Amino acid sequence: MRYPSSTAFAIFGAMLIAISYGLARFAFGLFVPPIREALNLTPSVIGIIGALPLISFLFATAIAPLAADRLGARKTGMISGIFGAAGLGLISQAWGAISLGVGVFACGICTGLMMPALTAAMQALVKRSLHGRVSSVMNAGTSIGVAVAVPTVLLLADAWRFAYFSFAVLAAVGVLAAWRMLPSVSPVLPSNAAPAPPVSVLQWTRLFRLSGFAFVMGFVSSAYWIFAPDLVATLGQLPSSSTGLLWLAVGLAGLGGAVVADLADRNNPPITQALMLMMLSAALALVAASPGNIAIAIFSALVFGLSYMSLTGLYLMTGIRLLPGRLSMGPVLPFMAVSLGQAVGSALFGLLVEDFGYGDAFAIFAALGILAALLSPFYPRQLELEPDEEILEDTGLQAAYDFQLQNEKGEPYRSQETAADRTETQE
């Protein structure tokens, strides 16, 4: 078969990410109010269930690079889609907390496997000079998926089972698309490319600091992802359908996150992180202060979407920068830290709601976000490797990808051939 162009692959990847991240993972919070009412679940139980896909995401992410290497991008992508279709289908038929938990757990596996599969395919099909651009488009799929869920909840707020069944059908279509579009083999490193240098103590120290900030961000953001719709529906007494507008705002604002993260890499990452964490905390405070005011709730969602997507993009680039030549490790560690923070935060937040109520619980999480923002001077400055080394001139996501494969001189490796340039068929 003829492989897709870089543009077509970027769009295709964004669609798979929209399904695996936007629908299989982040759409759950949007349907919490009707699900909680239909299944008679308490906030603490919802908090535990909301943590399950994040835990399964951690396990899937840990084995995903090995799966992509051994099974190839196509099979890994198909397995991801199968878990997504099965999990979404089970959610649509859930009869209690256990079945719902199993469904969202399967969805977390789907999410954890999809991006590594697409990254492996990108390395095999797309020219290295376009990796940054293609990756940015694919990452935007999360926001697209979140926004796509909005008309569903507006039209089917009380028919969440049918909505999730529709998501399962889309995931099944994604399995077929992965079989048709992704290569069956994993990328092979050129023989004349220099091996990745050993990880130094300084790099481990900075990765630890990066992962700490990522954990706190995930911890704080879990309150919004899982409980913001339930807050405005329960405490604010807004109709369930109106909560879809929150996710529309999150999705639209999140599209600007890649731009902010790219600018941060060119300017001052610690200051950007501090600003985005303050915005994230402000979003929690706004929606908790006026849950019954739809205009303020939507504004808080805009602030949350921009800050959350900006921070995930910033952590991605920092992780890539800190570990040149180790693309399967550098960005994975902070993303695992984000998910671990969300899993812990979701379970703890559900308990706080039962003990203190929504308002105080959101205030506590917002305060933690502000505290983390004040510690941003300790954020690792990824543009310098040693105190006496010259700062890299090239910045942005593409520059970060350029240094993942180097020649013997430590310069970005330039390959003249990619699988996309070849026309032979791979079975």
Place of tokens 């985005």: 276
In 323-411, the DSSP E strands lie at none
Alpha-carbon distance of 287 to 278, in angstroms, equals: 14
Find the length of the chain. Answer: 427
For residues 280 and 71, what is the distance between their CA atoms, to the nearest angstrom?
38
Q: Please list the helix, strand and coil fractions of the chain in percent, rounded to the nearest 5, in that order.
A: 75, 0, 25
Distance of CA 2 to the CA centre of its chain: 30
* 127: Cα separation from own chain's centroid: 24
Distance CA 322, CA 332 (A): 12
Paired with 406 in beta bridges are 412
Answer for the pair 132, 396: CB distance below 8 angstroms, yes or no.
yes
DSSP character for 425? -
Give, in order, the Cα–Cα distances in Å from 309 to each of 108, 138, 253, 316, 381: 19, 13, 8, 11, 19
Q: Which DSSP letter does residue 418 get?
A: -
pLDDT the model gives residue 355 = 87
Domain ranges within the chain, ordered by starting residue: 1-188, 192-407
414 burial via Cβ count (<10 Å: 0-12, 13-18, 19+): exposed
d(CA 237, CA 247): 17
Whose CA is closest to 283, among 362, 385, 206, 356? 362
Which pLDDT tens digits describe the chain residue by residue (427 residues)? 566 678 888 899 989 999 998 888 878 887 888 888 889 998 889 999 988 998 999 899 888 888 888 888 899 999 999 999 999 999 999 999 999 999 999 999 999 999 888 888 887 788 777 777 788 788 888 888 877 777 776 676 668 899 899 999 999 999 999 998 888 866 555 555 555 667 778 888 888 999 999 999 999 999 998 888 888 888 888 876 677 788 788 888 887 776 776 676 666 788 889 999 999 999 999 999 888 898 999 999 999 999 998 898 888 888 877 877 666 666 778 888 998 999 899 989 989 988 888 889 999 999 999 999 999 999 986 544 443 344 444 555 555 555 566 555 555 555 444 444 443 333 3
- Cα separation, 271 vs 146, in Å, equals 28
Instruction: Compute CA distances 137 → 253, 257, 313, 336, whole Å.
Output: 15, 11, 12, 21
The pLDDT assigned to 361 comes to 92
Say yes or no: do domains 1-188 and 192-407 share a fold.
yes
- CA of 18: how far to CAs of 12, 75, 169, 194, 419, in Å? 10, 19, 14, 35, 25
The whole-angstrom distance between residue 379's C-alpha and the CA centroid of its chain comes to 20
CA distance 246 to 415: 44
Q: Give residue 173's pLDDT.
A: 95
**pTM of the predicted model as reported, rounded to 2 decimal places:** 0.79
Distance CA 21, CA 157 (A): 20
The predicted pLDDT at position 391 comes to 42
Compute how many other C-beta atoms are within 10 angstroms of the C-beta atom of residue 98.
10
SS3 180: helix
| Beta carbons within 10 angstroms of residue 423's beta carbon | 8
Rounded to the nearest 5 degrees, what angle is found at the Cα of 298, between the Cα atoms of 270 and 101? Answer: 80
- In the three-class reduction of DSSP (H, G, I as helix; E, B as strand; rest coil), residue 406 is classed as strand
Single-letter amino acid code for the residue at 396:
G
Asked if residue 217 lies in contact with residue 277, where contact means CB atoms within 8 angstroms, the answer is: yes
**Both structure tokens of 377:** 């001077």
List the one residue out of 230, 358, 338 whose CA is nearest residue 288: 358
- Assign domain 192-407 to its CATH superfamily: MFS general substrate transporter like domains (1.20.1250.20)
Q: Retrieve residue 141's tokens.
A: 């799929």
Q: Which of 194, 225, 183 is nearest to 343 (CA)?
A: 225
- CATH of region 1-188: 1.20.1250.20
| Paired tokens of 211 | 């992962």
The reported pLDDT for the residue numbered 421 is 42
What's the distance, CA 43 to chain centroid? 24
Strand partners, 412: 406
